[in-house]
Amino acid sequence: MTPANTYDYDMFVIGSGPAGHRAAIQAAKLGKRTAIAEKKSVVGGACINTGTIPSKTLREAALHLSGYRERSIYGASYSVKSDITMSDLLYRAESVVRSEIDVSRHQLARNRVELIEATASFSDPHTVRLDTADGQSHREISADNIVISVGTQAPRKNGVDIDGQRIFNSDDVLGLEEMPQTLAIIGAGVIGCEYATIFAALGVRVTLVDKRDQLLPFIDSEITDALVYHMRQDRLVLRLGEAVQSMEAVDDEKGERVRVILESGKRFSAHKALYAIARMGATASLNLANAGLKADNRGLIETNDNFQSEVPHIYAVGDVAGFPSLASTAMEQGRNAAAHAFGADISGFPEHFPYGIYTIPEISVIGRNEAELTEAGIPYEVGKAAYREIARGQIIGDQTGMLKLIFDPETRKLLGVAILGEGASELVHIGQAVMSLGGDIDYFVDAVFNYPTLAECYKTAALDGINRLG
């Protein structure tokens, strides 16, 4: 075996998204010679450049410009800007993306992580080939430990002719030239639901199609039922339990449009279509076989609890490692992988982590839901609070929000939290802290919350749950 100090790097990271970024910085903080390869001219991966950050910024721009938050107070016709264009939305997104890229670059430089702009592939388990973007030159480097954090990508071809404008995927949204009048979205996963509600808030007539009968089945069904209700209030049409037979761009006397035919025989047309299905691990160009690795049929790499692949010194973190495919968990996976590689003491991956789904209204959950507890045969009780009952909910004009606590009826230990409404992804962290410390709902009863705040929902929901116990 080659001594570690004869390698060019102690750790080499492929991909600069949240997982790779955090892995590289953790290794550097441990005093290790670290480099990170990024094939694009910008750092941050899909999270900063095409996915998480842009979509959430588009959401905020849509909410602001459409006046959506204030309509319950000023009326359904209220808006900040009457004719909202894609340029209006993208202006804000581009500003935030530039800032995040700059912050990421600065963090890598400050921690002395070498950033290499090149496409990486394996020559052998310890050797990585680096090809420049122009394809004119290449070199090879060696590393004691390697972290794969290439993320996922939306396929350009999957039986659908994706042109990036009329039929586009989630990576193409920032390149859209005009706002659609009507929009078909194929795939009601997290990405599909988020964009469906964003465009619907802007007045776009959206049709959302998915094979599954239930929206977001991993979320508490009471929360998703409420989301479906509010989607329909925004004139969003749901075609659940429906598969797409064909989808194609057509030009006829009605103009340029996309025709969608479902397997059930239903058919409809839309100005544009978002294909939000089947993101794949971006591993095709890595030459994994040279490293003794293989990816599954979705391009993902299997790992153990320490994020090691079947080749122990090669780690896979973030979306390329599969579930739960969250930016937040990806960061912790990267940090844990780097710490494990060098034997650093670390507490391990947390048991409880929240999901944030940036639909309109927003959703965030942590812990188990009712269906999971029922399947496991675990008794539970629930307590609920509606935003409209809380002064802060009235002040901000959120008539739709709700917070739900799930707890053990004997010990009152908190088992799960589910929130729908403004600030849900921030509010959930109060429940996260109590759950992580093994707390019960009596904490919320006894706690003093600022008034008026949405956090008061925890006290109201806890009291509601205790009252249900009789």
Lowest mean pLDDT among 93-107, 150-164, 220-234: 150-164
Q: Is the pLDDT of residue 34 over 70?
A: yes
Average pLDDT of span 455-464: 98
User: Measured between alpha carbons, how far is residue 403 from residues 10, 63, 77, 230, 373 in Å?
Assistant: 47, 21, 28, 16, 18
Segment of 61-70, 130-139, 202-211 carrying the highest mean pLDDT: 202-211
Predicted local confidence at residue 222, as pLDDT: 96
Predicted local confidence at residue 253, as pLDDT: 76
Q: What is the DSSP string of 227-272?
A: HHHHHHHTT-EEEET--EEEEEEEEETTEEEEEEEETTS-EEEESE
pLDDT tier for residue 3 given thresholds of 50, 70 and 90: low
pLDDT tens for 174-199 read: 899 999 999 999 999 999 999 999 99
Q: What is the CATH T-level fold of the domain 4-153+280-341, as seen in this structure?
A: FAD/NAD(P)-binding domain (3.50.50)
The domain over range 361-468 is classified in CATH as 3.30.390.30: yes
Predicted local confidence at residue 278, as pLDDT: 75
The domain ranges of the chain are 4-153+280-341, 167-275, 361-468
Asked whether this chain's domains 4-153+280-341 and 167-275 adopt the same fold, the reply is yes
Predicted local confidence at residue 156, as pLDDT: 67
Predicted local confidence at residue 2, as pLDDT: 54
Q: Report which of 184, 200, 179 is spatially closest to residue 90, judged by C-alpha positions.
A: 179
pTM: 0.93
> Which tokens in the block code for residue 447?
């706690």
pLDDT tier for residue 228 given thresholds of 50, 70 and 90: very high
pLDDT tens for 311-338 read: 999 999 999 999 899 999 999 999 999 9
pLDDT tier for residue 233 given thresholds of 50, 70 and 90: very high
Predicted local confidence at residue 352, as pLDDT: 87
Lowest mean pLDDT among 94-108, 247-261, 315-329, 453-467: 247-261
pLDDT tier for residue 344 given thresholds of 50, 70 and 90: very high
Predicted local confidence at residue 4, as pLDDT: 59
CA distance 373 to 360: 27
Predicted local confidence at residue 447, as pLDDT: 97
CA distance 231 to 239: 12
Predicted local confidence at residue 432, as pLDDT: 97
pLDDT tens for 253-262 read: 778 899 999 9
Q: What is the CATH T-level fold of the domain 167-275, as seen in this structure?
A: FAD/NAD(P)-binding domain (3.50.50)
Average pLDDT of span 400-421: 97
Which amino acid appears at position 1 of this protein? M
Q: For the chain, first and last CA: distance in Å?
A: 67
Predicted local confidence at residue 158, as pLDDT: 66
Q: Is the pLDDT of residue 79 over 90?
A: no
Predicted local confidence at residue 272, as pLDDT: 96
Predicted local confidence at residue 70, as pLDDT: 86
> Mean pLDDT across the chain, nearest whole number?
93
Angle of the 18-29 helix axis to the 86-110 helix axis, nearest 10: 20
CA distance 45 to 464: 44
pLDDT tens for 420-451 read: 999 999 999 999 999 999 999 999 999 999 99
Average pLDDT of span 82-88: 90
CA distance 349 to 336: 7
CA distance 286 to 300: 12
Predicted local confidence at residue 350, as pLDDT: 80
